Structure 1
Amino acid sequence: MARPPLPIGTWGDVRTQVVKTDDDGNAISHRAQAKFRDHDGQVRLVSAFGRTPTAAKNKLLIKLKDRAKTGQGGEPTAMHKINHLLDLWVAKFKEQIADGTRSPTSMDTYLRAIKNHVRPALGELRIGEANTPRVDTVISNIKKNAGPPTAKTCRAVISGMMQLAVRYGAITVNPVREVESIEHPAKKPARAIQAEEITLLRKHLRADEAAVRADLPDLVTFMLGTGVRIGEALAVLWSQIDLDTGTVDITHTIVRIKGEGLIRKPAKSKASNRQVGLPNWLLATLRTRAAAGIRLDDPIFTDTTGGYRDPNNVRRSLRTALAPVGNKTRRNLGQALRATRRQAGLTREQVANTLNWPKNRIELIETGRIKVDRTMATTLLWTYSPTPQATEALLTQADEAAAPIPTDTLTWITSHAFRKTVATALDSAGQTPRNAANQLGHSRISMTQDHYYDRKAPNPEATNAIQQAFEDPDLI
């Protein structure tokens, strides 16, 4: 029976022999040799030299490993480490980004997952060693330690790289295929901003000087009038607005790429590239902005230098505008408590340790970011020991600051809530899911239906239909 051939990229037994001796006949040079089956299928003899048999053998092994790693065109084999496969997968993904078929923001997400989780867990394994049980254990550990969303991202990366290994013939089956699916509690149901909340929100933003400086009132109006993503809103140029026909072309989005900064890139999918109509109240806002003077190649919403705005900074400005810190009474109370603490000669850390509170609670109180009721204020003032008159004044101020204010109902709102509000409004108006998906730039209507419609609103038509169906007295 014929001996089976060496697998491609592997070698046979290593043999050593003396190739040089000194005048006394002592060996001073050794050669180590092994047969290596190259990536073209040919078996070749590979040699290395050293002063001792061990040195020659070690040099040969390094040489053989490098030969297996580089191979013909760098194609991976079952003997390659997964680190090598990951590098190849990342390179392929970057090519897809250059072709416009993948998003650079996805690359940032995947690179974080690779650095923090995939490489530490699998990088030093051989591709052929990454079987289903091992991969399943790794993904389960990531889910336990980092959470289901991170585990899903890591699973996508591992599946992609192992699929690449299958295409190159390094393995025959993707081991991720049989890995247990990742289950986690469903996301919170979609919530639309109600009409009275929208009115309160717009009034609050117009009255907040910091929100006005951040240009939030008009930006929020634009997003409520179109349902576009925040990055899409910040990427719209004046040349894409037609004030006569009342339309805007959505073609790009603003993203921040590590190492590149802010870029204006094409929309994430074909469905995202769309034309959206503008309601009259939004047209009025845009005409007012245009009357102040524009350049067609400028964004509608610019930063202080006239360039593109960072979506993350805009989200932060919105959070700040809607957080309790916007309440002047709470902020003033926090400043008064800070002054009282300093008069007592205490640091935040000392107070937190004395009261056995979390380290950052004093900071949150003094910046007005959490409510301080009379009980909490009494505890603090007992620690600070101010005069009785100062204590009574601060407790009165705490009572005023603890009283609820209308804008407390707005703290849940994020930039994405505007899209869900638009989707729900279209659904309530009888628009088809396809029309709503087109407005939002979704490829699949299931995305719109499952994640953007607020289902809590009562449906009078459904009630009437049930009433008519079961109004026969004999059925009651």
Structure 2
Amino acid sequence: MAKARVRDLDGVTRLVERNGRTGAEAERHLSAHLAERTAPSMGDLTPESRLTALWEAYEAHLLEEGRAIRTMERYRYASTYVIKGVGGYKIREASTQRLDAFVKTVKSKHGVSVAKSARVILSGMFGLAVRYGAAASNPVRDVGTIKMESKPARSLSVDELRGVIDALRSSDKVLNAANKVTPKQTISEYCAIADLTDVVIMFAGTGARISEVLGLRWSDIDFDAKTVTISGKVNRMPGGGMIRESFTKTKSGARTLPLPDFALSMLMARRVSAPTNIYDVVFPSTTGLLRDPSAVSKQWRRVRTALKLDWVTSHTFRKTVATLIDEQGLSARVGADQLGHAQISMTQDVYMGRKTVHTEVADALNRIVQ
């Protein structure tokens, strides 16, 4: 049991306690409760409020909006730098010059990604302050933008894609040296035991994200229509394990895709032999639970290193599908629908059909992979 005395918003100090299976868990439960209990309401914000209080109000606002778990994790991580760097300033003291200097310091000490996230949450915080009268304008508006260096998209060639799938199925190359803990295994043996081959085939057959593939349910597969519906994804709740979210990364991410024959054959064989699981997912863990994308990525890293393809991540298969679609002469509209990307072109958004099942994608992949 973890206990603490807290002064509530009414000014009264009370004893608060929370339980857990371990001391650390009890402390986490207590910390989470206290954060919610003492979070200032929007009406409490004034120009004299500290940025620590503004962040707490903004965090509560994000939770009310139902922001994705991963987004909240990223924002909370970046907020630690914000609180440490400028948290003690009052809202009225946070000038553009001061915040610009802070963001530049974060960039030089902690990298572009952290600095960009810090700028994003500061902008959101002060946007909230403006809406509730605690600030006359948003000082972050004129803070210098943070530019991320874009790496050129690299995809597998047709021969490389075929070679990867063949290796997962039949390579007799030894993955690791034999020892008392781990017996000698070939790449194909390891992939069979780790249930990695079918996952990679699904990557190649759909171009779906790793979280989307691991969140696929048997009810999402239509064997008669030869399609799969991407309707959700798996995610890890901080301190709460894996969950399946019934929404995709973006609105355009919810889509129905055609299945090429090689992916459909894999799914049909899997349907016959796979044991049931409580989540009805196609690719469960060895214990019948939801599979962690991080664990699958770790397994894939071992294999790609053995194949001398260290640059190939699960996302590389998305880029590969997009490249193959383009090389087969299919339109950018088709590629966007396949990958679940939102469009930036008004012409394509307004005048071309959305949510279309492009069977020509499956035909193209069949010609290439088989």
TM-score between the two structures when normalised by the length of structure 1: 0.58
Give how far 1:73 is off.
6.1
- Shifted more, 157-166 versus 174-183: the winner is 174-183
User: Which residue does 2:225 correspond to in 1?
Assistant: 245
Give how far 1:295 is off.
4.2
CA contact (8 A) 1:437 1:445 kept: no
Q: Which runs of 5+ in 2 are unaligned?
A: 1-37, 172-186, 346-370
Residues 72, 283 of structure 1: alpha-carbon distance in 2 compared, 3 angstrom cutoff? closer
Residues 94, 319 of structure 1: alpha-carbon distance in 2 compared, 3 angstrom cutoff? same
Query: Distance in 2 between the 1:224 and 1:311 partners?
Result: 16
Larger-Rg structure: 1
User: Which residue does 2:109 correspond to in 1?
Assistant: 145
Alignment of 1:21-100 (within 5 A): 74-97=43-66
The number of aligned residues is: 289
Give how far 1:259 is off.
2.1
User: Which residue does 1:41 correspond to in 2?
Assistant: none
Structure 1 residue 260 corresponds to structure 2 residue 240: yes
CA contact (8 A) 1:246 1:283 kept: yes
Residues 235, 73 of structure 1: alpha-carbon distance in 2 compared, 3 angstrom cutoff? closer
CA contact (8 A) 1:238 1:294 kept: no
Query: Distance in 2 between the 1:79 and 1:234 partners?
Result: 48
Partner of residue 278 from structure 1, selected from 254, 259, 268? 259
Partner of residue 230 from structure 1, selected from 195, 210, 220? 210
Encode CA deviations 1:357-382: one digit per residue, 9 max, x unaligned. Answer: xxxxxxxxxxxxxxxxxxxxxxxxxx
Aligned CA-pair RMSD: 1.9
Query: Distance in 2 between the 1:118 and 1:293 partners?
Result: 48
Give the counterpart letter for 1:103 in structure 2: A
Partner of residue 322 from structure 1, selected from 304, 307, 316? 304
Encode CA deviations 1:41-61: one digit per residue, 9 max, x unaligned. Answer: xxxxxxxxxxxxxxxxxxxxx
User: Which residue does 2:310 correspond to in 1?
Assistant: 411
Structure 1 residue 175 corresponds to structure 2 residue 155: no
Give SS of 1:430's match. Answer: coil
Residues 438, 70 of structure 1: alpha-carbon distance in 2 compared, 3 angstrom cutoff? closer
Give how far 1:70 is off.
9.8
Give how far 1:268 is off.
2.0
Residues 295, 70 of structure 1: alpha-carbon distance in 2 compared, 3 angstrom cutoff? closer
User: Which residue does 2:167 correspond to in 1?
Assistant: 204
Give SS of 1:271's match. Answer: helix
Structure 1 residue 299 corresponds to structure 2 residue 275: no
User: Which residue does 1:192 correspond to in 2?
Assistant: 155
Partner of residue 114 from structure 1, selected from 43, 58, 79? 79
Give how far 1:72 is off.
8.2
Encode CA deviations 1:72-110: one digit per residue, 9 max, x unaligned. Answer: 86430001111110000000001111xxxx211100010
Q: Which runs of 5+ in 1 are unaligned?
A: 1-68, 327-406, 447-476
Query: Distance in 2 between the 1:234 and 1:412 partners?
Result: 22
Give the counterpart letter for 1:189 in structure 2: P
Give the counterpart letter for 1:195 in structure 2: V
Task: Give the fraction of aligned pairs with identical amino acids, expressed as a percent.
Answer: 38
CA contact (8 A) 1:433 1:445 kept: no
CA contact (8 A) 1:75 1:168 kept: no
Structure 1 residue 269 corresponds to structure 2 residue 233: no
CA contact (8 A) 2:43 2:132 kept: no
Residues 177, 427 of structure 1: alpha-carbon distance in 2 compared, 3 angstrom cutoff? same
User: Which residue does 2:201 correspond to in 1?
Assistant: 221
Query: Distance in 2 between the 1:299 and 1:158 partners?
Result: 39
Give the counterpart letter for 1:298 in structure 2: D
Query: Distance in 2 between the 1:271 and 1:263 partners?
Result: 21
Encode CA deviations 1:233-252: one digit per residue, 9 max, x unaligned. Answer: 00011111011110011000
User: Which residue does 1:310 correspond to in 2?
Assistant: 292
Residues 293, 113 of structure 1: alpha-carbon distance in 2 compared, 3 angstrom cutoff? closer
Query: Distance in 1 between the 2:242 and 2:138 partners?
Result: 37
Residues 298, 128 of structure 1: alpha-carbon distance in 2 compared, 3 angstrom cutoff? same
CA contact (8 A) 1:132 1:179 kept: yes
Query: Distance in 1 between the 2:135 and 2:268 partners?
Result: 61
